[in-house]
């Protein structure tokens, strides 16, 4: 009898563990399934979200992936997100793509690693997500296979990411008090699209962002130097300085943008002055 009890308890435990660690997909009601997004508007979402910076191969428009992201947990490689049916996302539905972007869940129900900034995109307005998807569908396909991540045990157990998501993948805003439309727009661009914090905010031992040190600089995952703080006390720039830098790549001292920020500036320069001013207003409000 006792043996049967232990076996039964074990089965129940395994079932519960399997259920708890299962990926939680995006609620379908968050999207207006069947609604067609605007590819024209989506091109600006694509720029604001920095999709090409990670997924575009150098010198081409093909989103074939391959860029390496070194971390303490392994090396992650940006996948092919072109419209190739076999090696990209050409066979995915709009819901599949939105579910990946906003919930970090693949079409087959697996967790994505948070090197993919779905914790940021989770805050994206559904119409913007559909516009972005419409734009992605206009881009050329590429048959380059995605490279497998180089991640060892135990981090290669994707089901364990359910716990990580529970701890760090909330959709609440970091900046809670926004009292102007400009500041609200800046918060949206920074916290829901630009994923600036992914680089400029330090992480804890589990790889979660330290929200109490938001935008205060972080160690470079590559081990080379430090990513600077964007906190106004540390940056020391005016709103005009920030907006000008994001438009031209020139600092107030007439130094030029370098490294990973080259792509960021090229992306944000495609937005309008109002959006760049909103980003600047957000950064200056980080107290």
Model confidence pLDDT, tens digit, residues 74-114: 999 999 999 999 999 999 999 999 999 999 999 999 999 99
Total domains in the chain come to: 2
Whether residue 108 is contained in a domain is answered as yes
Task: Give yes or no: residues 54 and 87 share one domain.
Answer: yes
**Domain limits at 276?**
181-284
Task: Give yes or no: residues 207 and 133 share one domain.
Answer: no
pLDDT (average), residues 56-80? 88
Task: Give the pLDDT confidence of 126-149 residue by residue, as tens digits.
Answer: 999 999 999 999 999 999 999 999
Which of 192, 225, 223, 45 lies closest to 121 in space, CA to CA?
A: 192
Task: Give yes or no: residues 35 and 146 share one domain.
Answer: yes
Whether residue 142 is contained in a domain is answered as yes
Whether residue 12 is contained in a domain is answered as no
Task: Give yes or no: residues 144 and 213 share one domain.
Answer: no
For the chain, strand residue ranges (E) read 68-71, 74-77, 218-219, 226-227
Distance CA 55, CA 117 (A): 13
Per-residue pLDDT at 14: 29
φ, ψ of residue 151 to 5 degrees: the values are: -130, 125
Whether residue 155 is contained in a domain is answered as no
Task: Give yes or no: residues 164 and 193 share one domain.
Answer: no
Whether residue 275 is contained in a domain is answered as yes
Task: Give yes or no: residues 49 and 104 share one domain.
Answer: yes
For 68, the 3-state DSSP assignment is strand
Which of 117, 37, 43 lies closest to 76 in space, CA to CA?
A: 117
Whether residue 1 is contained in a domain is answered as no
Residue 41 reports pLDDT greater than 60? yes
160 vs 187, residue with greater confidence? 187
Whether residue 175 is contained in a domain is answered as no
Show the CA angle centred on residue 172, arms to residues 169 and 176, nearest 5°. Answer: 145
Per-residue pLDDT at 170: 85
pLDDT (average), residues 38-44? 96
Task: Give yes or no: residues 34 and 129 share one domain.
Answer: yes
Task: Give yes or no: residues 145 and 50 share one domain.
Answer: yes
- The contacts of residue 164 (CB under 8 Å, 6+ apart) are 114, 206, 207, 208
């Amino acid at each position: 009898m006792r043996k049967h009890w232990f076996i039964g308890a074990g089965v129940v435990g395994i079932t519960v563990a399997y259920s708890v660690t299962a990926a939680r997909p995006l609620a379908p009601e968050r999207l207006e399934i069947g609604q067609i997004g605007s590819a024209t508007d989506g091109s600006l979402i694509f720029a604001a979200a920095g999709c090409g910076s990670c997924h575009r191969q150098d010198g081409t428009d093909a989103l074939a992936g391959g860029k390496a992201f070194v971390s303490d947990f392994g090396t992650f490689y940006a996948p092919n997100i072109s419209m190739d049916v076999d090696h990209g996302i050409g066979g995915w539905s709009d819901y599949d793509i939105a579910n990946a972007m906003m919930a970090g869940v693949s079409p087959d129900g697996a967790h994505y690693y948070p090197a993919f900034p779905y914790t940021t995109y989770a805050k994206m307005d559904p119409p913007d997500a559909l516009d972005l998807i419409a734009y992605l569908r206009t881009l050329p396909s590429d048959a380059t296979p995605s490279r497998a991540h180089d991640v060892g045990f135990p981090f290669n157990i994707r089901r364990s990411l359910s716990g990580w998501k529970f701890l760090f993948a909330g959709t609440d805003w970091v900046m809670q008090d926004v009292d102007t439309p400009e500041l609200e727009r800046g918060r949206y661009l920074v916290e829901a699209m630009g994923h600036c914090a992914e680089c400029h905010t330090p992480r804890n031992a589990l790889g979660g962002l330290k929200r109490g040190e938001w935008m205060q600089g972080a160690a470079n995952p590559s081990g080379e130097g430090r990513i600077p703080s964007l906190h106004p006390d540390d940056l020391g720039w005016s709103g005009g300085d920030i907006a000008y830098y994001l438009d031209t790549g020139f600092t107030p001292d007439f130094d030029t943008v370098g490294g990973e920020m080259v792509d960021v500036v090229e992306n944000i320069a495609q937005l309008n002055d109002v959006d760049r001013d909103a980003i600047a207003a957000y950064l200056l409000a980080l107290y």
